[in-house]
Amino acid sequence: MSIKLICDRLKQELCVWIGGVQGSSLGYLIFELTQALKRPFLVIAPSVEEAERIYKYLRFFLSSKTIVSPLDKQLFFIPTEPFLPYTGLSPRAEVLGRQFAALFGLLNADCPLVVTTPKGLMSRFLPKEIFNQRTQIYQRSEEMPRDAFIIFLQQLGYARVDLVEGSGEFSVRGEIIDIFCPLYPLPLRLEFFDDVLESVRLFNPVTQRSERHLEEFILIPAHPIPQDKASFKAAQDRLKELPLPVEVKQKILSLLEVPAHQPGLEDFFPLFYENTHTLFDYLPEDSLFVLIEPEAIEREARAGNEDKDSFRGIRSPKTTLFAFFFYLHCLATYQGAY
């Protein structure tokens, strides 16, 4: 079936099923469809391994596209960690960084192409409105009060360290602020003169050498939990209003006493917001879905739901994975799928 035929079929039908396409051929087919249809795509693979493979194939086919700014990027990947929630483990910074970069892409990129798994599809994220509010663009020579900017970095979830090495970190040394924003392959170095931003450049964190000078940069959240006192106080207040056993509240409150990262704290990030959103809230209205092995996706969704049900812990109210998969199936039926 040719690309043109698929596109023509989509004008008559809302759902197109294609079989017998695997590996790099599947990646090439998705790439050609994105170029022909010029619409946002969400690709769901049944496993992290399969999603990574599809992402790498798509990255290869899109490698000829020149990326000067994060706004030029089209391809994104939403990874997840293999462990269950409420086990005292935290997602790695690079995982959170790729998730937030993908959310930025869904809201700002021209025809974003996002690859994920059933678990990524059901994950909860910052409310879209708050993500938009906290996304800022800064220009060189702009006046930026340093103290207020440092507080803002903490509100975005950046962790203050002595030396920036990984995504989601920042450091302050005199008139220099280093930030590793998830949108960039290298950390940013900002040089100030009083409260004026004099210089912006990307630098190599190993050699500390400058790689490229920028006239502007974009800053997005790096962590779901702000690192400031006011946010932690608000989370404590929300927790106290929940109908939970006293001993459970005390255990969670102990994690919220100090506005700093602690292992497993991300499990309670809904306490920091009035509500949370899923990818469905971030997706553009005209998005097309690519379901790779739909039956396998359904099995993974069911298995994920059973894992959650077998776990005995404190959970925020969520729709089950299987219910979300059914919702996805309905969306695909009415909006188009391959």
* Count of positions (residues) in the chain: 338
pTM of the model: 0.85
User: Which pLDDT value is given to residue 114?
Assistant: 97
DSSP letter string over 41-95? EEEE-SSHHHHHHHHHHHHHHTTTS--SSGGG--EEE----SSPSSSS----HHH
User: Which pLDDT value is given to residue 307?
Assistant: 52
Write the CB contacts of 326 (distance below 8 Å, at least 6 apart in sequence).
none
User: Which pLDDT value is given to residue 312?
Assistant: 35
Please, where in the chain does CATH 3.30.2060.10 lie? Answer: 136-219
Query: How far, in Å, CA of 173 to CA of 208, rounded?
Result: 14
Structural tokens at position 225: 């939990």
User: Which pLDDT value is given to residue 228?
Assistant: 84
Q: State the number of CA atoms in the 13 A half-sphere of 61 facing the CB.
A: 20
Please, where in the chain does CATH 3.40.50.11180 lie? Answer: 3-130+263-335
User: Which pLDDT value is given to residue 325?
Assistant: 43
Query: How far, in Å, CA of 189 to CA of 214, rounded?
Result: 10
User: Which pLDDT value is given to residue 301?
Assistant: 76
DSSP letter string over 122-186? H--B--HHHHHHH-EEEETT-B--HHHHHHHHHHTTPEE-SS--STTEEEEETTEEEE--TTSSS
Structural tokens at position 49: 């391994």
User: Which pLDDT value is given to residue 309?
Assistant: 45
How would you class 310 by CB atoms within 10 Å of its CB: exposed for 0-12, middle for 13-18, buried for 19 or more? exposed
Topology of domain 136-219, per CATH? Penicillin-binding protein 1b fold (3.30.2060)
Topology of domain 3-130+263-335, per CATH? Rossmann fold (3.40.50)
The answer to whether the CB of 45 falls within 8 A of the CB of 56 is: no
How would you class 243 by CB atoms within 10 Å of its CB: exposed for 0-12, middle for 13-18, buried for 19 or more? exposed
User: Which pLDDT value is given to residue 1?
Assistant: 61
* Residue 247 CA from chain centroid, whole number: 33
User: Which pLDDT value is given to residue 319?
Assistant: 34
Digits of tens for pLDDT over the chain (338 positions)? 678 888 877 777 667 777 778 888 899 999 999 999 899 999 999 999 999 999 999 999 998 777 778 999 999 999 999 887 778 889 999 999 999 999 999 999 999 999 999 999 888 899 999 999 999 999 999 999 999 999 999 989 999 999 999 999 999 999 999 999 999 999 999 999 989 999 999 999 999 999 999 999 999 999 999 888 889 999 999 999 988 888 888 989 988 988 888 888 998 989 999 999 999 999 998 888 999 988 888 888 777 655 554 433 333 333 334 344 444 444 443 333 33
